[in-house]
Structure 1
Amino acid sequence: MKAITKNFRLGFGSFIDKKLMPFVDPRPEKTNPVMQAEIFDRLNIPCFMAGVVVPNDGHCHLDKHGYYTKSLDQDYPSIALLHQKIKERKANIIFAVTEKNKDLYKQLSDALPDVSSSVGVLADDSRNIVTLIEEEYNKISQKIIMVDNANASQGLRLSYRSKCLE
């Protein structure tokens, strides 16, 4: 990335499901019949069923080893909370996912209005992560939309200048 731009910070995260029922399925032959019960048709809220009912507070709860300490105490962040945090940090999000999860994360990306997010497909062994980040960064940085309301104020003249990176 240093060859492309000097103005770049990278954060990396991964998604790991909660280590409690119903997120884990240690014995499918025993747990799947329970899912056929009529109550689960109307109450299919995994965090609620697991007893994780506290909404995500949007704060970072990592210990000194980088372990997230609130996974069993707080629900997953909502799309609205993700949107808020992305806007606060003026971040560009690249969801690097498997082909299997591409459509799901495309829906998530589409559900984040007025923020920059994109979805890229990782190779099975993730060997293309650097290429994926470079390609998605190039897509993000190719287009700039500038909006002003110069016509709203008489006597105000705006001009735009760019200083492109070489």
Structure 2
Amino acid sequence: MASVTFKGNPVTLLGQEVKVGDSAPNFTVLANDMSEVNLSSSKGKVRLISVIPSIDTGVCDAQTRKFNEEAAKLDNVEVLTVSVDLPFAQKRWCAAAGIENVQTVSDHRDLSFGEAYGVIMQELRLLARSVFVVDSNDKVTYVEYVSEGTDHPNYEAAIAAVKAAN
């Protein structure tokens, strides 16, 4: 499993680690209107899945804004931001931030995404910062488990992976 710290403290990641070349695991999360979203909801598109601990923190805010900006330049790409924030909080944050190109989804109900992608920080019941790219055939083409939860992911590498998968 990936070795991750949060604010310098080691955390235990629960779930299955995902690797490049794997078939993307399915998951069920909640959209801001409480409807279910899963991997097949965006079948046939390249998926950039941005995972954050909480939308209301500085790095998570910046990460979501950065991928929202990049998403506006991409065709046939679905960008999901996954956290355990409640759908209502995500909706409020998106409205205040003017986020229109990223779909925020909540894994608060049963940690389905976190378990499937190995990103549940057991000690905090939050998701570890990470980025996954899944191609239109549901193959994982890029994985980044950010080693320190308060650091930014490699935005350039993730966007390059999306472009290569498209």
Please give the TM-score of this superposition, normalised by the length of structure 1. 0.28
The structure showing larger relative contact order (alpha-carbon pairs under 8 Å, at least 6 residues apart) is 2
Structure number with the higher helix fraction is 1
Please give the TM-score of this superposition, normalised by the length of structure 2. 0.28
Structure number with the higher strand fraction is 2
